[in-house]
Amino acid sequence: MTGKPSVHPSSPMANRNLLESFARAFEGFSHVIWTQRHVRLQLFIVILVFLLCYTTGKNVTEVLFVISAISLVLMAELFNTAVEVVVNMITDVYHPLAKIAKDVAAGGVLIASIYAFLVGCAVFLNKNTINSFMKSTHTNLTDKINDANMVVMIIVGVALLFIIVPLAKVRVGHGSILRGGAVSGHSAVSFLLCAAIAISSNFNPTASIMALVLAILVAQSRVEGKIHSLAEVLWGAAVALVLVALLILVAHPV
């Protein structure tokens, strides 16, 4: 009898639903981030690249090329780590075939990195880009905050929180992706919205205080329900406020 082997539904390796599949994907991505130091460096470079894209006024096509290069490198790193883990699981002694498997996977990362380098040269190392960067002028930070498109910032901020919070939970190993954990997701979202309301209202005292009270009530409910500790909701608030500051800095650099 032939056929593809399947994982029994009761097996710990089986995903019971789509949500659990996403949770395990986050766990895999988190493993690569926290165990591969060069991947953390790459993510830091990604932030700088996006900042450079904005300050030099790149168009949609150029940004898409940059995103494709970044995605290709990160995907190659994920597959490379997966190959290394499988090889190490099979054998813990030197074997020529094990070496070939790891070298080929590393070769995939090399090709992706070369592509990213070429894209970076084509997009950034040209006369128009350099002139645009050198001649760019900026208004003061207060004006930029008031002019920021808060709807876009909120969407981007919430999307980033859905990545950052689960990664922090997996890293610390406390709670689960969807409940509890080292950082309160509810607290993070509520304080992000609080900051957005305060900024969009030009720090109007009434609106800002009401938004803050609502955010505190959300955080307090997580502690009252014994889902999070006080420290965990404070971490959520801190992550949100730092994220808002970074989004403003990236979108409207000083």
Residue by residue, DSSP assigns 143-199 as: HHHHHS-HHHHHHHHHHHHHHHHHHHHHHHT-S-SSS--SS-HHHHHHHHHHHHHHH
Question: How confident is the model at residue 58, as a pLDDT?
Answer: 83
**pLDDT tens profile 144-169:** 555 446 677 788 888 888 888 877 77
pLDDT-derived band at 173, boundaries 50, 70, 90? low
| Amino acid 148: pLDDT | 46
Q: Identify the residue with better confidence: 62 or 176.
A: 62
Residues marked active site are found at 77
**CB proximity list for 89: less than 8 A, separation 6 or greater:** none
Residue-wise pLDDT for 80-121, tens only, equals 888 988 898 888 788 888 888 888 988 888 899 888 888 888
Q: Stretch 35-62: mean pLDDT, rounded?
A: 82
Q: What is the mean pLDDT of residues 58-65?
A: 87
Give the pTM.
0.50
Write down the pLDDT at residue 253: 55
Cβ 120 vs Cβ 49: under 8 Å: yes
